[in-house]
Amino acid sequence: MKNSREINPRDSNSESPWQSVVSPDAAFAQVTDAFDVIIVGAGITGLTTGLLLQKAGKKCLILEAGKVGFGTTGGTSAHLNTFFDATYPEIEHDFSVQAARQVADSGKDAMGIITALVKEYGIDCDLEYKDAYLFSENETETDQLLEILEASRRAGIDVSEANHNDLPVPFERSLRFTQQGQFQPLKYINGLLAAFRQLGGAILENSFVTEHKELDNGMEVLAGERTFRAAHLVYATHIPPGITAFSFRCAPYRSYVLGLRLKDGNYPTGLAYDMQEPYHYFRTHVVEGEQILILGGEDHKTGHDDPEQAFANLEKYAREYYQVESVVYRWSSQYYIPVDGLPYIGRLAASGGNIYIATGFNGNGMMYGTLSGKILTDQILGIENLYGNLYTPSRLKPVAGFSEFVKENADVAWRFVADRFGAEELDKLSELQKGEGKVAEFKGEKLAVYKDQQGKVTALHPVCSHAGCIVNFNAAEQSWDCPCHGGRFDISGKVMCGPPRNDLSQIDL
């Protein structure tokens, strides 16, 4: 594991390979009080939107809770794909054949935007175009794979059968998608940031937005003690903050990734994915001059299951197929699965037309975050966007995704009730191990208690400030994670990610 050097901070305790590139300090940007657009969040979505709007002559301010890349963009695995977690057969079935074609076109457009921005601003971000392999390992998966082949072709994607899968993992059938890609996400967004600032864009880091108000002539936005005004407000926060419909339409998941040094140099040349549930994803990246196999998977709903076990399972899987010399990186991060498979991007109809969101990207936010930049820019400029209707947050999908929706929300309701019972009683705080956290009854009160390595105990009110579920301790990330909507808090109770607007309150023991 890499340690004890300056790294770009992230909403997690674990270190991704991208964090060795530290973003330039943005806190000293010139900030005046009124803007055309305020963008909340400095991940790929916020920075793409900011740059495209600034380029179009709008005066933008980006407000970021942490530092640039603090959210999932700093913990992604950065595959660039024109096929998505919602497969083309699923989109055809749940939406239409025409919609599947549009999704494919939008993916190609997103790839085109990344290519164009890299070229225009000379962004050195290790961008490479590669083939991607999707492979089956049993008969059921093979049937699905062949459906994906046909539907992807109908959608206009360049895909064919391949006689290998680029990996030492045995397979039944394999598909090769051409013109896919990969990059170093922090280098990329730092390039967007530099161009944004060059064009006069303003950015403030360490500025957690707690509230907004709709005024007659625009928006007022509160970040700590400071108030800013703009005509338009974009929430590029991965999931919009507060209690919104999107917390109920998007389910939070954690995904786990290892960066591995191999003994035999048998690194994949392209990108690869199996079809297990959850699936594994593979690629190679040269990090600080050294090839690293990036292998991800073992996803589960945030606050459910054991993160340490997920890492252990992933490492076991890696060692089954690869001659692993050492684990160089080990990290996890969060994403949101939308109820009907497609992201929600665009203007919020209920907001009087001045608030925009981009969420529900699943594991495809490099593409959808980029696309959001274009869609939101067009909408703010009053230009019709080809994909505006397809991804509109106002869509109602009564049939598609309905069963998934019921399942996710039943789960939330269950946690909400069940979590209120069943905390174990803790007689003495000395029963806690160093580095351990748990929700426990202590002297008749339910607390989230944590003992650090020095033996100091911190106690927090364990009820999530978002929608009132009880948080769970995440030992791998040293965080408190809410199993309902994915709110995550650090050991001191500070919001790190997800929809909560308020910290967990500390309790004086």
Give contact residues for ligand FAD (rule: CB under 6 A): 40-46, 63-66, 70-73, 75-79, 208-209, 236-238, 241, 255, 257, 296, 333-335, 361, 363-367, 369
Give how far Cα 208 sits from Cα of 32, 46, 117, 190, Å.
18, 14, 28, 20
User: Which DSSP state fits 138?
Assistant: S
* Of residues 41 and 341, the one with the C-beta less far from ligand FAD: 41
CB of 160 to ligand FAD, least distance (A): 22
CB of 416 to ligand FAD, least distance (A): 23
* Of residues 371 and 459, the one with the C-beta less far from ligand FAD: 371
Q: Are 92 and 339 in contact (CB under 8 A)?
A: no
* Of residues 196 and 442, the one with the C-beta less far from ligand FAD: 196
* Of residues 65 and 460, the one with the C-beta less far from ligand FAD: 65
**Three-class SS of residue 12?**
coil
CB of 306 to ligand FAD, least distance (A): 17
Residue nearest ligand FAD (C-beta atom): 365
Q: What are phi and psi of 253, to 5 degrees?
A: -130, 150
CB of 188 to ligand FAD, least distance (A): 11
* Of residues 63 and 149, the one with the C-beta less far from ligand FAD: 63
CB of 106 to ligand FAD, least distance (A): 13
The span from the CA of 86 to the CA of 100, in Å, is 10
* Of residues 16 and 102, the one with the C-beta less far from ligand FAD: 16
User: Strand 495-497 to strand 218-223: parallel, antiparallel, or no bridges (unpaired)?
Assistant: unpaired
CB of 289 to ligand FAD, least distance (A): 22
CB of 278 to ligand FAD, least distance (A): 11
Q: Strand (E) positions, 263-367? A: 271-273, 281-287, 290-301, 324-338, 344-347, 355-359
* Of residues 312 and 413, the one with the C-beta less far from ligand FAD: 312
* Of residues 42 and 127, the one with the C-beta less far from ligand FAD: 42
CB proximity list for 293: less than 8 A, separation 6 or greater? 258, 259, 260, 261, 262, 267, 268, 282, 283, 284, 318, 322
Chain centroid to CA 270: 22
CB of 352 to ligand FAD, least distance (A): 20
**Three-class SS of residue 151?**
helix
User: 327 burial class (0-12, 13-18, 19+ CB within 10 angstroms)?
Assistant: middle
CB of 447 to ligand FAD, least distance (A): 26
User: Strand 472-474 to strand 457-460: parallel, antiparallel, or no bridges (unpaired)?
Assistant: unpaired
How many residues are listed for the chain in this entry?
509
**Core vs surface per residue 390-399: b (16+ CB within 10 A) or e:** bbbbeeebee
* Of residues 78 and 484, the one with the C-beta less far from ligand FAD: 78
Cα dihedral sign, 459-464-470-474: negative
Closest residue by Cα to residue 471 from 493, 444, 451, 502: 493
The span from the CA of 411 to the CA of 336, in Å, is 15
* Of residues 77 and 174, the one with the C-beta less far from ligand FAD: 77
Give how far Cα 16 sits from Cα of 7, 202, 252, 315, Å.
10, 27, 20, 16
* Of residues 208 and 279, the one with the C-beta less far from ligand FAD: 208
